[in-house]
Amino acid sequence: MFAVAIHPDGHAALTGRFWRPPAPLPDDPLLIELWVKLATQRSFTAGNNVGWLSPAELAATTSEFESRTGKSWQEWADGDRAASSNTAP
């Protein structure tokens, strides 16, 4: 069984691997859905329907995500950590 969960505070996502979404988490469900698809390379639908994205679906999802954000999904997620690591404690 596969699952994706985003913590209610928006600071963590669990997809079988622990991810830290960028903060603040945007109020944009489609953008979050695209990021999850790229992070997991899977599509999630109602019920227990989980499937791998085909190469064409992955390319289309990547293109849509990058056109909406101007960044790859990894850059988008890592951007907040990189910015916070450059600040003094």
Gap between the Cα atoms of 76 and 59, Å rounded? 17
Residue linked to tokens 């990894």 = 74
Q: What is the Cα–Cα distance from 22 to 10, expressed in whole angstroms? A: 9
**Mean pLDDT computed over 45-61:** 83
Average pLDDT over every residue of 51-65: 92
Residues β-bridged to residue 54: none
SS3 74: helix
Selection from 61, 3, 69 nearest residue 37 by Cα = 61
The residue type at 75 = E
62-75 pLDDT, tens per residue?
A: 999 999 889 887 78
